[in-house]
């Protein structure tokens, strides 16, 4: 037999099983031909256009975006309803009660409110030109009336971000009254009180009113915010508690006599005996900041 013919038959017999093995071997899934990729993309696009389900990747992106927005909104709301710290500055005036002319009043307030509902409050209120209604005390002119109150506060937040915060508060503290007269001034008060009865030692100044009263307050109002900045409107009643000095009523017309005055140029207030529990109303409006 021809040798070349035999060699050709052997090679054909070897190649036939090799091609059969290759045909039965599965394709590697990690390797995708360009044609299969194009066909898969076209199939997905066709399914979407015909009302089929969107690709999984699109659903995942949409779901994660929706979850992120929901989480952001929830966190914003929870932050505003968490503990709030509020600082306010306000201006207004005092009136009613023992006041003849309360003049300008300045308030500084600090609030801590738990979950926007209940908390504590400190109010420092200052009236540099407070005038009494009682005739004898009114003769002393402008008196500095300051108050320092420690309150409990309750509020009812309104709106998803607690933009409105109506509240009530009340508590106790101190009311201080000071009126120091410069006897060398050319004033009506100087002419009235710079004599041997009120200034026997010839001091250059006289403490006409010098008193600290235990007191209380109650009031309410509303705060409105745009994010962290807002305003505050407050109406409040102040009163001394249990500090009656004598039977002379602030609203009466008590007269000054040597027996009804106390102290001298270095005393603690020659008109203190005319003080009862001072009381008055105060209305203020101002700015608030919260965090």
- CATH number of the domain residue 215 falls in: 2.40.160.20
Q: What is the pLDDT of residue 95?
A: 94
Mean pLDDT of the chain, nearest integer: 75
Tell me the residue range of the domain where 209 lies: 83-290
Structural domain contains residue 28? no
Do residues 269 and 208 touch, judged by C-beta distance below 8 A? yes
pLDDT 10s digits, 49-77: 444 444 444 444 444 444 444 443 334 34
The pTM of this model reads 0.66
Structural domain contains residue 9? no
Structural domain contains residue 140? yes
pLDDT 10s digits, 234-277: 999 999 998 655 544 444 344 444 444 444 444 568 898 888 89
Bridge-based pairing of strands 279-290 and 104-114 is unpaired
What are residue 190's phi and psi, to 5 degrees?
A: -65, -40
Query: What is the distance between the alpha carbons of residues 168 and 219, in angstroms, rounded to a whole number?
Result: 6
Query: What is the distance between the alpha carbons of residues 101 and 142, in angstroms, rounded to a whole number?
Result: 9
Count CA atoms within 13 Å of residue 14 on its CB side: 6
Confidence label for 173 from pLDDT (cuts 50, 70 and 90): very high
Closest CA to 233 of 281, 280, 288, 279: 288
pLDDT 10s digits, 7-48: 454 454 444 444 444 444 455 554 444 444 444 444 444 444
Structural domain contains residue 47? no
Count CA atoms within 13 Å of residue 22 on its CB side: 5
């Amino acid at each position: 037999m021809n040798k070349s013919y035999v060699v050709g038959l052997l090679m054909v017999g070897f190649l036939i099983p090799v091609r059969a093995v290759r045909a039965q071997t599965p394709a590697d899934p990690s390797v995708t031909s360009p044609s299969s990729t194009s066909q898969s993309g076209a199939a997905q696009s066709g399914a979407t256009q015909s009302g089929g389900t969107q690709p999984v990747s699109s659903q995942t992106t949409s779901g994660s975006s929706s979850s992120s927005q929901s989480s952001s909104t929830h966190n914003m709301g929870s932050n505003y309803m968490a503990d709030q710290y509020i600082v306010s500055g306000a201006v207004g005036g005092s009136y009613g009660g023992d006041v003849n002319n309360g003049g300008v009043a300045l308030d500084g307030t600090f609030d801590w409110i738990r979950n926007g509902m209940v908390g504590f409050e400190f109010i420092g209120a200052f009236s540099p030109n407070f005038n009494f209604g009682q005739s004898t005390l009114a003769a002393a002119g402008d008196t500095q009336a300051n108050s320092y109150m420690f309150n409990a506060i309750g509020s009812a937040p309104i709106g998803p971000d607690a933009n409105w915060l109506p509240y009530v508060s009340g508590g106790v503290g101190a009311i201080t009254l000071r009126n120091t007269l410069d006897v060398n001034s050319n004033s009506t008060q100087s002419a009235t009180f710079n004599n041997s009865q009120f200034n026997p030692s010839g001091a250059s100044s006289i403490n006409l009113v010098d008193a600290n009263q235990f007191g209380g307050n109650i009031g309410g109002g509303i705060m409105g915010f745009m994010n962290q900045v807002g305003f505050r409107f407050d109406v409040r009643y102040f009163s001394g508690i249990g500090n009656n000095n004598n039977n002379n009523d602030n609203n009466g017309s008590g007269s000054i006599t040597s027996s009804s005055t106390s102290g001298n140029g270095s005393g603690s207030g020659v008109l203190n005996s005319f003080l009862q529990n001072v009381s008055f109303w105060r209305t203020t409006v101002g700015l608030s900041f919260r965090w």
